[in-house]
Structures are given as structure tokens and as C-alpha cells.
Amino acid sequence: MSIMEIKQVGYSYDNKKKVLKGVNAEMEQGKLYAILGPSGCGKTTLLSLIGGLDSPDSGQIYFDGQDIAKTGLSDHRKNHVAFIFQAYNLIDYLTPAENVSLTSKLPPLPILERLGLTKEEAKRNVLKLSGGQQQRVAIARALASEAPVILADEPTGNLDEDTAQDITEILKESAHKMNKCVVVVTHSGELAKQADVVFRLKKGELQVLERIDDSSAQPRSRRNNTSRSERRGR
């Protein structure tokens, strides 16, 4: 059963440039989703709408069958989703452990250690950590929130190849072993190859790619597909 559903969502910048046109998608827990597309096509905007940071001009976004605009965007942000940003967005005067504690009542050290930080590193100022370590802290903060949906905007964009691969594996484990719904906006084909479902956003339409390593693969548009909610008569 889908935990997130996007139904006929449209969005324009300044009521002029339409970047999303009747977008439909369904997303389940236990899966890693990748959203590909050229710069400026609206990928981050779509992620913001899923996360309740903004509202669509048209259409609805549902969490567990409930319209997030009706149940409240702030409630959705607080209880249902956690964000991972390319720029990490950590509190720079706090330690990794203190950053994670901001979103969790659980002890921060176990999850930080599980993501590869030592006890010593967990007590350092975050600015003294490498980029890869800071991104691990950002992921730990998201996981510690216990939100069922994790939204990541270019989480490997600033990282070297080996570290990016490690972060990709952590995101996969978050979906497959922790039963999270992980949605990643990325330019990385390597990350997308690890995803369970790959979307491509192009000219305002969201398409499903059957295979991203085969240039002959044709994306399937979701624009006119009947969504599960429509079949239920919502």
C-alpha cells in the first residue's frame, strides 16, 4: 500500500513558468525512489511539495490516504517526513550527537556509530568533519526522527565517488531494512541504478524509467494513469 500519493499535481513559478503538469505517482515504504531530470526541471520543487514545504497550484498530495493540505502541512513536516540536503544543513556550532538529538529522544550515539562515526567523531564540532562524515550525520538525524518518509535532495552531489557509494548503500538500507520510503532527487546515474523505482521529470511530466542503463528503454508517462485513489473513488 502506498504511503505517499501525488495526484494530478501542478505547479508554476510566479504563476508563469509551469514546471509540473498533472504529476501522478505512488510511493511505498520499504523502497528507494530516484527522481532524475535536467537542472531547473522542477525536481527539488516536487520534493518540497511532497515534504509539505510548499503547496501545489493544483492537485493533491496524500500521506497514508490523507490530504496533507487538509491535515496540515506543519503536522506533515513534523511527524511524517525528514529531509536530507546536499549542503547538510547541520547546526555548525553543535556536535554530531547534538545535531541528531534535535530530532530524536533516543540516544544519538548508536545510530551515528551504525553510520560509521566513532564516539570521538560524534563529540567533535561538525565543522571538523569531512563532507562525507557530515552527510552521514545528516542521514542519522533523518533516521533518528523515526519519520516513515525520507526526502533527500542531491545527497551525494558534493561527495567523492567512494563516499557517494557508501551514502547510497546507507539510503538503500534505510529503505530495505528500516522500512522507510526514501525519495532521492539526483543527477547521479549510479545512485539511480540502485533505486527500486526511477522517475524522470521532463517538461513538467513525471515518467517511470524501466531501465536506466539501456538507452533504448522508453519511459512510461504517469500523466494519464489512473491512480489508486481514483480507483477507490477518492
Q: pLDDT tens digits for 181-229?
A: 999 999 999 999 999 999 999 999 999 997 665 442 334 444 434 333 3
Reduced to 3 states (helix: H, G, I; strand: E, B; else coil), residue 179 is coil
Residue 184 included in any domain: yes
Residue 130 included in any domain: no
Residue 164 included in any domain: yes
Position of cell 510548499?
Answer: 54
Q: pLDDT tens digits for 113-165?
A: 989 999 999 999 999 999 999 999 999 999 888 899 999 999 998 888 998 99
Residue 19 included in any domain: no
Q: pLDDT tens digits for 83-101?
A: 998 888 999 999 999 999 9
Residue 142 included in any domain: no
Residue 121 included in any domain: no
Q: State the residue range of the domain holding 202.
A: 31-51+72-80+147-220
Name which of 167, 97, 98 is nearest 132 in CA terms. 167
Pairing of strands 31-36, 81-85: unpaired
Residue 44 included in any domain: yes
Tell me the average pLDDT across 170-180: 95
CATH of the domain at 43: 3.40.50.300
- In whole angstroms, how far apart are CA 172 and each of 53, 86, 138, 176, 184? 24, 17, 15, 6, 11
| Number of domains forming the structure of the chain | 1
